[in-house]
């Protein structure tokens, strides 16, 4: 019973701590819906005839790390006004610069 309880607690904590804004994204969302998730800070990076790429840059959600040292960029691809893919990218700057 103790093992089950311990495993349940680990599962519950992992489930509760793993929620980040990129997990709130769903295929088919419009740029306006995605902007509402991120507070409206979408920047257009590239645009072609039927495809657009946006980026969201924000401090990474890493506990115990001073936010300006690590940033997270999320690239979002929209085709015909619907979200078709995204990619996370992390950047760690040297703390002595």
Contact 37, 44 (CB under 8 A): no
Residue 48 confidence (pLDDT): 84
Q: What is the pLDDT of residues 8-29, one digit of tens each?
A: 666 655 555 544 556 778 899 9
How is the chain split into domains, by residue range? 22-92
CA pair distance 3, 7, nearest whole angstrom: 6
Residue 40 confidence (pLDDT): 75
Domain 22-92 matching CATH 1.10.287: the answer reads no
Report the half-sphere exposure of 83 (CA within 13 A, side-chain side).
21
Q: How confident is the model at residue 39 (pLDDT cuts 50, 70, 90)?
A: confident
Contact 91, 77 (CB under 8 A): no
Residue 52 confidence (pLDDT): 93
- CA atoms 68, 91, 17, 2: torsion sign: negative
Q: What is the pLDDT of residues 46-85, one digit of tens each?
A: 888 889 999 988 766 665 555 566 677 889 999 999 999 9
Residue 18 confidence (pLDDT): 45
Residue 11 confidence (pLDDT): 64
């Amino acid at each position: 019973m103790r093992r089950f309880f311990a495993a349940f607690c680990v599962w519950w904590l992992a489930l509760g701590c793993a929620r980040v804004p990129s997990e709130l994204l769903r295929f088919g969302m419009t740029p306006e819906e995605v902007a509402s998730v991120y507070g409206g800070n979408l920047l257009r990076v590239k645009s072609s005839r039927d495809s657009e790429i946006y980026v969201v840059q924000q401090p990474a959600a890493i506990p115990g790390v001073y936010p300006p040292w690590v940033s997270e960029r999320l690239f979002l691809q929209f085709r015909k006004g619907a979200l078709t893919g995204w990619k996370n990218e992390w950047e760690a700057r040297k703390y002595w610069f």
